[in-house]
Amino acid sequence: MSEAGSRVLLLAVAALAGAATMTVELAAVRLLAPWFGSSAGVWTNVIGVILLALALGYLLGSRLAVRARPTRDLAWLLAAAAAWNAWLPALARPLCEVLLPRELTLDQSASLLLWGSLAATLVLFLPPAALLGTVAPLCTECYQRISRTHAGTAGGTVLCASTLGSLAGAFGTTHVFAPTLGLSWTFVAAALVLLGCSAIVGLLSQSRGGWLVAGALACATLPATLLSRLERSPAPPGVEVLAEAESRYQSIRVVEDRRWGEPQRLLQVNEGLDSFQSVWVAHKGLLGPGFYYDLFVLPAWWARAEGPWRVAVIGLGAGTAFRVLEGASPPAAELELSGLEIDERVVELGFEWFDLATERGTVLAGVDGRAGLRGLPGEFDLLVLDAYQNQVEIPAHLATLEAFSQMRARLAENGWIAVNVGGFGFDDPVVQAVATTLAAAFDGECVGYLTPRSRNIVLFARSGARPTAPDGDDYWFEGAVAKALLPSLSPEGCWRRFHGAAADAPLRDDRSPLERLQQRSLEGARERLAAAR
Amino acid sequence: MSAWPRLASVTRTLLGVALVASGAAAQDAAQDAAQAAAVEEVAAQFERGRYDLALNETRFIASPQLRAEWRFHVLYNAGNLPAALDEALAGLEVAPQSLDLARNAVLCALTLGLGRVAEDLLARWKAAIDSSSLDAAARESWLELHAEQSAFAAQVLARDEAASDAARRALWICVAGFGLAFGALLVLSRAPSDAPRAGEAPVA
């Protein structure tokens, strides 16, 4: 092969290996997400381990580069990386279930989410990333030997190709491969690409030994195309999986649970634990104790709403809030429902399985809640913030003083905001931080209600008026909704008034330690409950 | 001291005791009536759905055990399980023999996933059953319920144990993984490097 041709092939190998490295890194988080979520902590673990692996790979590559036949070493290293990559989907579940046993609740799993994900990342992703890390120094060496150029020239050229490949890998994995191929095939496709690279380098090497090793590893890789699949934990008896999907953001599945009487459909996102993002039952209206969605109907009753009642839900999910509002709002209220959901696939599944309908209103899918709010016309009588990411986290940018102020600006006079916060009681650090920040944005006051038999708290604030609380005259009203909701919320200890003045440092766009608070909330949950005894 | 004054003293004492007893009986009757009224008020407010007032009215129930039972009842129905558990535990402090409170505390602790707390409460519940003056059928029924909850507690404890084991495993894997990786870095960085290429000019 000509010198120019060899150089091009080497650069192509460097680029494809760079793309595969990014695929491993980005898909790694998604592969772990069904068990450990995809919080900032999990991302940090994955990025940290990949960086360590690359450092190791670079050093190993630099040592192998001085040997007589670097192309031969490169061929088998690429084939080994391909084999490891190909089997990752099949290895994920057995390992993750050892590190995070089934049937644990969220608070039982608090420390496991971080340590477990770090351990899983080390076992699953350090070896292939280290193998891929050897590619750049070996390619540089080969390039320099072929072109007889300077080390800096060779290194710079190879790094340029590798980085451009990484760029393509990053965009391709998130926007194309994972949503269209699914995770298993994304890993297998990356493995096949690396195997192709190994073959190219083997051609350049013309070494029988290199071919033999690479061939053996190819034999280990190819069966993975048939056998290596990511399997989520099987549904327990009485629970049927209706649909599964990979979106740009997360793994999603719809299950129907028939274990407790009336069938319930649940939309689970990256869940290995005991939570869900949306719920459907056959009837519209209140869902019953344990479901915070029911509390979203209260402002319309407290406001004695008649005529148009305009509601926007930020974090619509599959539309549970819509169905509850439609079935349990005051009869005189004419609902106009709008919703924002960042994940289009969730909305598609909502239309398919959750009877999500938009007869009077707008659903904007594929847009972030804060940015998308600008796209919804008019003012609202009620804004519902029910946005969650990574299983347990409120997106930090949606719970800042600036975000709440922006939401307040979209409310009609005396309009309401309802914010769903997950936490372990009113003293939970996340609940405290979000509530006092909300209060600071809404004339200094908000009221939090503990959802019965749940770890959710719904915060209410009003624009230009005090939010309703059980100690006020306007709390009680008549009817079935009142009977179902008001008694449980009214006792001392089941609600709390929060004051904005208590916010030493409200959450700001510039500084929002929400993720740290959320981790502290989880870690503290069990200790706090046990200590209280 | 002569016998008379001693007799007089005894008589006074007996008279005093009788007066106190009759006063105490009257006071007890009044207290019972007040307590019954307070309980009736709590129950009425609870039935009306005014859990806030019901909880407030429990302040007027004199018996700590009865107060704790009612506060538990209101808070449990309001769905505030941690607070309900606190009430049941407070009630057990003053009335460790209360089977209802012990059962309620166990149910709450198990629902909240507090295996160790439930284990301790199960032991107290069992002791309360053993020391009670129940008839055989009632005792059997309580023991059955206790056995059911014990089995449930064993599951919760097994989950706790599994979580602890998994945490230990994860920690060891992390230590081993990082140890190997940094060890490899150290070994590779100390490996002898090759001689400079012939014919290349020095950098500076």
Cα gap B40→A70, rounded to integer Å: 90
Determine what percent of chain A is predicted with pLDDT higher than 90: 55
Is residue A42 within 8 A of residue A117, CB to CB? The reply is: yes
For residue range B54-75, list pLDDT tens digits in order. 999 999 999 999 999 999 999 9
Q: Collect all residues with Cβ–Cβ distance below 8 Å to B114 and sequence separation of at least 6.
A: A529, A530, A533, B85, B156
Contact yes or no for B80 and A494 at CB 8 A: yes
Task: Sheet with A495-499: list strands edge to edge.
Answer: A361-365, A333-341, A307-314, A380-385, A411-422, A456-462, A445-450, A495-499
Residues of chain B positioned with their CB less than 8 A from the CB of A486: 49
Please give the full DSSP string across B71-88, using - where no structure is assigned. HHHHHHHHT-HHHHHHHH
pLDDT-based confidence at residue A526 (cuts at 50, 70, 90): low
A142-151, A155-164, A493-502, B108-117: which is most confident: A155-164
Does pLDDT of A316 surpass 70?
yes
Cα gap A254→B202, rounded to integer Å: 65
Q: Collect all residues with Cβ–Cβ distance below 8 Å to A256 and sequence separation of at least 6.
A: A239, A240, A242, A263, A264, A265, A266
**Nearest by Cα to A368 from A383, A387, A384:** A387
For residue range A458-473, list pLDDT tens digits in order. 999 999 999 999 999 8
Fill in the amino acid letter for A361. Answer: G
Total residues belonging to chain A:
533
Contact yes or no for B117 and A494 at CB 8 A: no
Cα gap A408→A502, rounded to integer Å: 20
Q: Poorest-confidence range of A14-28, A108-122, A220-234, A345-359?
A: A220-234
Does pLDDT of A450 surpass 60?
yes
Q: What pTM was estimated for this model as a whole?
A: 0.78
Cα gap B56→B50, rounded to integer Å: 10
**Given CB atoms, is B171 within the 8 Å cutoff of chain A?**
yes
Q: What is the pLDDT of residue B204?
A: 41
Q: What is the pLDDT of residue A515?
A: 79
**b/e burial code for range A285-322 (CB count within 10 A of at least 16 → b):** bbbebebbbbbbbbbbbbbebeeebbbbbbbbbbbbbb
Residues of chain A positioned with their CB less than 8 A from the CB of B165: 101
Q: What is the mean pLDDT of residues B163-171?
A: 90
Q: Tell me the average pLDDT of chain B.
A: 83
Tokens 């924002």, residue located? A340
Question: How many A×B Cβ pairs under 8 Å?
Answer: 132
Helix axes A40-64, A514-532, angle to 10 degrees: 120
Task: Sheet with A278-280: list strands edge to edge.
Answer: A239-246, A251-257, A264-269, A278-280
Contact yes or no for B169 and A99 at CB 8 A: yes
By CB neighbour count within 10 A (0-12 exposed, 13-18 middle, 19+ buried), where does A119 fall? buried
Nearest CA in chain B to A59: B188
Contact yes or no for B174 and A529 at CB 8 A: no
Q: What is the pLDDT of residue B168?
A: 92
Q: What is the DSSP letter of A500?
A: G
Q: What is the pLDDT of residue A104?
A: 76
Q: What is the mean pLDDT of residues A146-159?
A: 90
Cα gap A494→A447, rounded to integer Å: 11
Pair of tokens at residue B77: 């129905």
Is residue A448 within 8 A of residue A413, CB to CB? The reply is: no
pLDDT-based confidence at residue B15 (cuts at 50, 70, 90): very low
Q: What is the pLDDT of residue A276?
A: 80
Q: Tell me the average pLDDT of chain A.
A: 88
Q: In terms of pLDDT, which residue wins out, B197 or A16? A: A16
Does pLDDT of A323 surpass 60?
yes
Cα gap A394→A195, rounded to integer Å: 41
Cα gap A450→A458, rounded to integer Å: 7
Cα gap A46→A191, rounded to integer Å: 19
Query: Which residues face A237 on adjacent strands?
Result: none
Nearest CA in chain A to B121: A533
**Nearest by Cα to A459 from A484, A441, A482:** A441
**Nearest by Cα to A197 from A296, A107, A311, A81:** A81
Nearest CA in chain B to A528: B82
Q: What is the pLDDT of residue B192?
A: 66
- CA separation (Å) from B84 to A493, B88, B104? 10, 6, 9
Q: What is the pLDDT of residue A533?
A: 44
Q: Poorest-confidence range of A59-63, A147-151, A357-361, A488-492?
A: A357-361
Q: Poorest-confidence range of A77-81, A248-252, A357-361, B11-15?
A: B11-15
CA dihedral A286, A290, A296, A301 (to 10 degrees): 60
pLDDT-based confidence at residue A521 (cuts at 50, 70, 90): confident
Does pLDDT of A270 surpass 50?
yes
pLDDT-based confidence at residue B199 (cuts at 50, 70, 90): low
Cα gap A314→A342, rounded to integer Å: 9
Pair of tokens at residue A140: 């540089």
